[in-house]
Amino acid sequence: MCLGFPMTVVSGDALQAICARKGETQMVSMLLVGEQPAGARVLVHLGSAMRVLDETEADAIDAALDGLSAALNGASFEHFFADIIDREPELPEHLRSRTE
């Protein structure tokens, strides 16, 4: 399984940027997404920004990762998934039948 983490661009250019997450910073390759302004959120996997995230998606990924960590530590985790509790799961649009 591969995980990407939302990070916030601090500064950089089209080749690389300093990005931050939870108080830690790292140099990230920006070759796949291009130059991004400070404050932009990007999904980082193995030191490379894979795509630009909007704030809602970045927050949802952060909450899911925090929930996973809580579950692995035996803590309460349901509140991290408030956006999906009490609703029926739905397939993404690209996986739905064209006849629906």
Q: What is the pLDDT of residues 48-94, one digit of tens each?
A: 999 999 999 999 999 989 998 999 999 988 888 877 777 887 788 88
Record the tokens describing residue 48, joined without a space: 């490379």
- When pLDDT is averaged across residues 34-40 and rounded to a whole number, the result is 98
Record the tokens describing residue 97, joined without a space: 């039948």
Q: What is the pTM of this model?
A: 0.78
Q: Residues near 96 by Cβ (< 8 Å), separated by ≥ 6?
A: none
Are 62 and 6 in contact by the 8 Å Cβ rule? The answer is yes
Which DSSP category does 79 fall into?
G
Are 48 and 32 in contact by the 8 Å Cβ rule? The answer is yes
Range(s) of the chain covered by CATH 2.30.30.140: 1-53
Whole-angstrom distance, CA of residue 50 vs CA of residue 2: 12
CATH no. for 1-53: 2.30.30.140
